[in-house]
Structure 1
Amino acid sequence: MMEEVKEAASVLSVHDDSIKVTEVLKDGDTLTFIIVSQKLSGTGEYHVDRTYEDFEWLQQHLFSQEDVPGIQGVIFPPLPAKPQVNASSRSIKQLGFLALGECQPYCKALETFLQQVAAHSILSKNKAVEVFLTSSDPPGRQKVKKNIFNRLSQAVEEMRKEGHKDVDEFFQNERDHNLVLTGCTKTAAEKFLDVVATEQKIAVACGHFSTALHLCVEPGEDPDKQAFSRVCVKLSEVFESIKKNMTSVAENNVNTLGLGLDLESRYQEAEREMLFRRTCKLVELENARRNTEKAKPVKKAAMEEVKKAAETEFEHISGVAKQEIERFQGARVEMLQQALVSWCEKQLLTAKESADQFNQHLEVFRGMA
């Protein structure tokens, strides 16, 4: 077990864009992910194995940095929900695209999470990130200190703050924009997932029909039966090709635009959480100002100190949040653009390969005629 991680400034010893989740190992209900990263020194690579609980350990350390000025203004890279070894309808609903295609989409999502944490100017300084990526020992299972998200679990009465009008037009517009985008991206991801599920069902049906056509083959010397059997065999090959085509199309959809929409949806939720944290701080600041105005002379000085501390904290959070939003808006456009380009390229390649194969089938049928 590695030692308790102390929250201290750290410079990563790996290239953030070199971090890869290369493999997943199954042991009963436990999944272990193999993570490889290139050393900055250029002398080799780090190879570590981590479970999902280790990823949660890292996330909790990132959340626990209350001593970092403005940390509540950070849009934390979203960690995917815990994977299920045997995907059920419930886990597919929870994980969406990440529950499809064996473990490849999920490994890609974890890889993206680590790359974004390692590339973040604030989060990458947490010692836990370096430990997670480079230590051969597994992270400790100790509980980390209370973090900024604990309050959200107690926030039944604070939910009213979500509709609290902002004093800054920039943040009010961003909150309104995020509310719309969160719903739209979630719906788009769900609809696209329905498309992929339908493609997978069509592929399975074509496979069944291809097998069934072989049952129509009849032995014997009768010319008509022989001709009918040849047609059945050829049709079986055609439907097998259709099955392979639909399978490839579905895989392309998952690994390109599907993962892009999934990440976009989870990041919109992460931004919403950040905006809500800032709104809660705004309400606290307004309450501190009112309490200062109403305070009796004997408590005036103390309340002034509380108000100044709240103002300083709120300014730090707002400053970090503006930088995060600007960075996020640029990154999300590039991310979706890459997903769309990759999606088009993959589907064009699949379509070309399928067209060539179907042309071959067509020539055979013409020869039979």
Structure 2
Amino acid sequence: MEEVKEVRSALSVHGHNIKITEVLKDEDTLTFLIVSEKLSGTGEYHVHRTYKDFEWLQQNLFSQEDVPGIQGVIFPPLPAKAQVNASTKVMKQLGFLGLGDWQPYSKALETFLCQVASHSILCKNKAVEIFLTSLEHPGGQRVKKNILNRLSQVMEEMRKEGHKDVDEFFQNERDHIIISTTSTKAAAERFLDVVLTEQKIAVACGHFSAALHLCVEPGEDPGKKDFSKVCVKLSEVFESIKKNMTSVAKNNMNTLGLGLDLESRCQEAKKEMLFRRTCKLVELENARRNAEKAKTVKKAAMEEVKKAAETEFDHISEVAKQEIEGLNRIRVKMLQQALVQWCETQLLTAKESAQQFNQHLQVFKGMA
């Protein structure tokens, strides 16, 4: 996933300015309204897309086997499919993207599209232009077999994952990615637990606020009147706590939560690319051994196979190194932005809540 840079000649839209402005629900199907600005500056494209269309786009990107070095590309990660009335298992798979309304999920799809449209190799695929501009749903079209179809066959040979690399740079990246993917995923899961707990606290405060109104008793008895006033005021306090916890949970989800989710999925995409390259390394070493052992009659043919494998592997490694360096640069910016937004929103919420709680405190002092 190289550093974001727009290639103007590849698309008729601005790759950095793609938005999902609306999510429509039709029974169990979600439809996303995608708006992209025309490169000519004469207007916008408005298209409706389902998740099936997103899958079609992703499969087309995976099918570019004739593009030199394509297997060295870190493909932008497409979020898992979201469903209306999803099961607990699906919600757990979605993590932060399955919480609250559809805004976090739409933001993740926006990020995916911007990364694809801004990628110097992927944006040249005709499917990207069709997806962003055509009024027809492309998801029903057939897609030829892709590198992941072929990858699923070699996944059985898990020994390749631990195969020693010939390049120290890639060996270090492979060693590091094993730790980073696990750590990032764990951090996202723990932070998700925090948000879920905050949501539960908000709900509990809302219930307690409502229950306090049941303690209010009519009548002119001074003791009952004073007790009722305290209950009403406490109800307002817990309602404020509910609003505060709801805002905190939402801030956590929309800032650092989405940042950790994207970081985790990008790490997985990087890991997949490194494994594809390792599989190509094994193929290259096999080709070299075959060329060495080949008899005179087949020697020339085996040498050609070896040279082709070497050329392909070198190209993949060159692209992969650029992709890794680009991703390592932008992931720092992404996490930094998420952390800054998280701090800013939480500070703003804390100030607003402090003012509300101070007002409640003054009222209680007056009652005393």
Q: TM-score range by the shorter chain?
A: over 0.9
- Contact 1:10/1:127 (<8 A) preserved: no
CA distance in 2, matches of 1:154, 1:167: 24
> Is 1:241 matched up with 2:227?
no
Deviation by residue 1:152-197 (Cα, 9 ceiling, x = unmatched): 2223432110000000000000001111100000000000000000
Q: Does 1:189 align with 2:185?
A: no
**2 CA distance for matches of 1:108 and 1:86?**
20
The corresponding residue for 1:71 is 70
2:49 corresponds in structure 1 to 50
2:83 match: secondary structure:
coil
Alignment of 1:10-159 (within 5 A): 11-159=10-158
Match of 2:329 in 1: 330
Aligned counterpart, 1:280: 279
Between the aligned residues of both structures, percent identity stands at 81
SS at match of 2:138: coil
Pairing of 1:356-367 with structure 2 (within 5 A):
356-367=355-366
**1:263 partnered with 2:262:** yes
Q: Residue 160 of structure 1 corresponds to which residue in structure 2? A: 159
Is the contact made by 1:164 and 1:279 (CA closer than 8 Å) also made in structure 2? yes
Quote the offset at 1:142 in angstroms. Answer: 2.4
Structure 1 residue 204: Cα displacement: 0.3
Secondary structure at 1:67's aligned position in 2? coil
**1:163-312 counterparts in 2 under 5 A?**
163-312=162-311
Matching residue's letter, 2:48: D
State how many pairs are aligned. Answer: 361
Partner of 2:5: none
Q: Is contact 1:10–1:130 with CA below 8 Å preserved after alignment?
A: no
Q: TM-score, normalised on structure 1? A: 0.97
Give the match's secondary structure for 1:192: helix
Rounded Cα–Cα distance in structure 2 between residues aligned with 1:105 and 1:112: 11
Aligned residues of 1:158 and 1:280 also touching (Cα < 8 A): no
Normalized against structure 2, the TM-score is what? Answer: 0.97
Distance in 2 (CA, whole Å) between partners of 1:77 and 1:35 is 18
Determine helix, strand or coil for the equivalent of 1:16: strand
Shift of 1:143: 2.1
3-state SS, counterpart of residue 75 of structure 2 = coil
8 Å Cα contact 1:21/1:108 also seen in 2: yes
The 1-side partners of 2:325 and 2:231 are apart by 60
Q: Deviations over 1:320-367 (max 9, x none)?
A: 000000000001000000000000011001111111111110111011
Residues 55, 139 of structure 2: 8 Å contact kept: no
Aligned-pair CA distance for 1:140: 4.6
